[in-house]
Chain A
Amino acid sequence: MRMTCPLCGARDLREFTFRGAALARPEGDDWNEAWHDYLHLRDNPAGESREYWAHAAGCGAVLLVTRDTRTHEIFAVEQARGAGA
């Protein structure tokens, strides 16, 4: 599996670290259902998945990756910042 970092180009998988499903972070500090949802519950899709990866051994950018969890095919990689995720 290779991933194309928008800043660095196509790189080996081992430069990247999975950082979790791309979910909207709730507002506020009080524990509530929205935080439980965000921290614990997952759609866990078999198919297209939107998730954060960090180019940890590269430029350090956090990336928004759209990927097929059944085939490992990567549809899109963009910088998470400004991607509206």
Chain B
Amino acid sequence: MRFSGLRVLKEGLTGNRGWGPHWRDPAPKPAYDIVIIGGGGHGLATAFYLAKEHGLTNVAVLEKGYLGGGNVGRNTTIVRANYFLPGNSEFYSHSLKLWEGLENELNYNVMHSQRGVINLFHSDGQRDAAARRGNAMINQGDDAELLDREGVRRLLPYLDYDQARFPIYGALHHKRGGTARHDAVAWGFARGASARGVDLIQNCEVTGIDTSGGRVTGVQTSRGAIKARKVAIVTAGRSGQVAQMAGLRLPIESHILQAFVTEGLKPVIDNVVTFGMGHFYISQSDKGGLVFGGDLDFYPSYAQRGNLPTAEHVMEAGMTLMPMIGKARVLRSWGGIMDMTPDGSPIIDRTHIEGLYLDCGWCYGGFKAVPGSGFALAHLLATDRPHDSAAGFRLERFRDGQGLMDEEGTGAQHNTH
């Protein structure tokens, strides 16, 4: 089934009776070439690119719950490529290019909206850092524009420019950044993978990883044993538990990150605005809700909900920056389980067990990475060589100290990012 404007028109005129399921619901086969554990954004994108780029379709994605029910359905939907360090920079640049072609490639409306990401700064030192980051982005081939105070005011007239603690000096404007409809990204990749022959198996919890002589041979699941030549763990905040099934300990701590959404309002915030000094960022969804968040709660958690002090802190920062939002009522708040690495950068790599692969450690930035991560992991699974864009995401960088990517400059230790 191909989506088009004509099809929408025809279905609309004939009672919408022609739409079918977007993906098949197969029973698991006894064996696959490749098993991907985790049917979230990264796992589904990996399956899609395995099929599309490498012609590998004897592949299963095993999902404990329902497709896209984890972090890909719980994030604040921001897409950007404004990283600074080599290793990260080329990866997110590549991912953004994939985003830009994604809707055509998937024939699926993921509502990718390049409305611009505006990172505010509040001092001369921060201006220098923003200029340096902007130059790095331009050198990478992406876009960045340094705005002075008046330049920001033209775009965001509603900010409080004269607050005493963090007066607004300007911003780094990344025009190709923006947002996307998070669920649709998971659904689009799922549909594309399923149509090419990948089996997406829901309600299938992996309970064990089988190895023999240092090589992976398959997985045990709640729907029976499945043999596989290669197994990829793509389970975000649950990476620690899944890796433990293969006897691995990972450089990952799972932390809670909260997000909030208000009642629907008329269009008022046209871009993504970040206020790093206050730990606050915001955008407005196409439904009208103000979607915002801040920093981690800063303690390990699998509860998928946070505590009130962080909620209060985020709201205070929002009120400091844009007092106009004070009358908007918060509809919901929730939390996601963030797979935090010591240096704040991810891992896409092989493990010491032959045939067992890892894609994890996305910290609080996994959504924008979905296409790039899927592309890179598919390349690694298919060729056993890292893709150029993700060659820096080595598991062993913590052991050997080489190529740590500490984007925030706070030290490559847990609980600092």
Contacts and interface: CB of A to CB of B under 8 A. Distances in A.
Nearest to A41: B249
Contact of A72 (B303, B309, B413): B303
A13 B414 contact: no
B309 A42 contact: no
Contacts of B254: 44, 46, 69
Contacts of A71: 303
Contact of B307 (A1, A43, A49, A69): A1
B241 A42 contact: no
Interface stretch (B77-85, B294-302, B349-357): B294-302
A70 B300 contact: no
Contacts of B299: 18, 51, 53
Interface in A18-75: 18-21, 31, 36-37, 39-46, 49, 51, 53, 69-72
A13 B307 contact: yes
Contact of A41 (B250, B300, B303): B250
B253 interface: yes
Contacts of A43: 240, 244, 249
A21 B254 CA distance: 12
Contacts of A70: 301-303
Contacts of B414: 20-21, 39-40, 42
Nearest to B400: A36
A39 B240 contact: no
A31 B244 CA distance: 25
A43 B209 CA distance: 17
Contacts of B250: 41-42, 44
A51 B300 contact: yes
Given A20-B414, A20-B415, A42 B301 contact: no
A13 B87 CA distance: 37
Interface residues of B, number: 25
B342 A44 contact: no
B309 A44 contact: no
Nearest to B244: A43
B398 interface: yes
B39 interface: no
Given A40-B398, A40-B399, A46 B302 contact: yes
A13 B309 contact: yes
B252 interface: yes
Contacts of B251: 40-42
Contact of A46 (B241, B252, B298, B342): B241
Contacts of B307: 1, 13, 72
Interface string B374-417: 00000000000000000000000011010000000000011100
A75 to B, nearest CB: 15
A41 B371 CA distance: 28
A1 B303 CA distance: 13
A19 B415 CA distance: 8
B303 A42 contact: no
A34 to B, nearest CB: 12
A22 to B, nearest CB: 12
Contacts of B413: 39
Interface string B283-321: 000000000000000111111000101000000000000
Given A18-B415, A20-B414, A20-B415, A44 B240 contact: yes
B301 A72 contact: yes
A13 B306 CA distance: 12
A19 B249 CA distance: 20
15 contacts: A13-B307, A13-B309, A14-B309, A18-B300, A20-B415, A21-B414, A31-B401, A36-B398, A39-B342, A41-B250, A44-B241, A44-B252, A45-B240, A53-B299, A69-B301
Interface of B: 238, 240-241, 244, 249-254, 298-303, 307, 309, 342, 398-399, 401, 413-415
Given A69-B302, A72-B307, 13 more contacts: A18-B300, A18-B415, A20-B414, A21-B414, A39-B342, A41-B250, A42-B253, A42-B414, A43-B240, A44-B254, A45-B240, A70-B303, A71-B303
